[in-house]
Amino acid sequence: MAEYDYIEGKKRIDEILDNKLEVIEKDELPNDSDFTFKNSYFSWVTSIFVDIRDSSILFSDQDKAKVSKIIRSFSSEVIEILRKNDSLREIGIRGDCIYGIYTTELQSKIYDIFEMSMYINTFMKMLNKLLTKKSLPTIKVGIGLSTSKELVVKAGRKDTGINSKVWIGEAVTKASNLSSLGNKTGYKPIVLSNNTYINIIDQFIEKCGDNSKSWFDQSTHNEYGIIYDTNLILTEFNDWIEKNI
């Protein structure tokens, strides 16, 4: 292997530790261009993760062309749903999971992310109908959402082009964990953190009526605290699926 120059490594670490780093507390998280190796931001963030259930079974299928078509169909449209938002700050794929991270300094922005989860939940009905028509296996997903103030740091190696943002807080890690609960062990597909629920429920009731609060089930998880799960879909989208597929 190539040798690691630990003497130069020590110098780089000393430089990082000795430099003054500015932590900027700002409700709205800025775009990538505002991040440097000498600052970090503490801002309101909402994250959504979409995780395929039992993906190991799907991936073990010997028909690799079939698996590729299913994964590509799924990822193409989930990314299309997640990317259409001006508040988007990062979108990506982690293994069998697709995620989006958004700046959400306003409750209306958090509601927009929640609405994405309903789009994805409805889209899965369309995808599975199309897969069935092609005699392909259907898939299920868990959708996790979480909101919190997050410390966001640009990390990596300066001058190498190898860098990325690190998200420190509950918004990203909890959304990822909650997505692993959805559509499993009694939970419905969409699982929300308590903070996300608190910030969207009044808007949801205003749009759908007082009764709509009962469409969310509350539970207490040993690790994640109070959470809510639901199987909400978008009626207009669903009606189109029923008529056209």
19 or 51, which is more confident? 51
- Mapped onto helix, strand or coil, the DSSP state of residue 154 is strand
43 beta partners: 150
CA distance 50 to 139: 12
- pLDDT tens by residue, 183-228: 998 999 999 999 999 999 999 999 999 999 999 999 999 999 999 9
Q: Which of 61, 55, 128, 138 has its CA nearest to residue 94?
A: 55
pLDDT (0 to 100) of residue 1:
59
Whether the predicted pLDDT of 62 surpasses 80? no
- pLDDT tens by residue, 127-182: 999 999 999 989 999 999 999 999 999 998 777 778 889 999 999 999 999 999 99
Tokens of residue 57, six digits = 């079974």
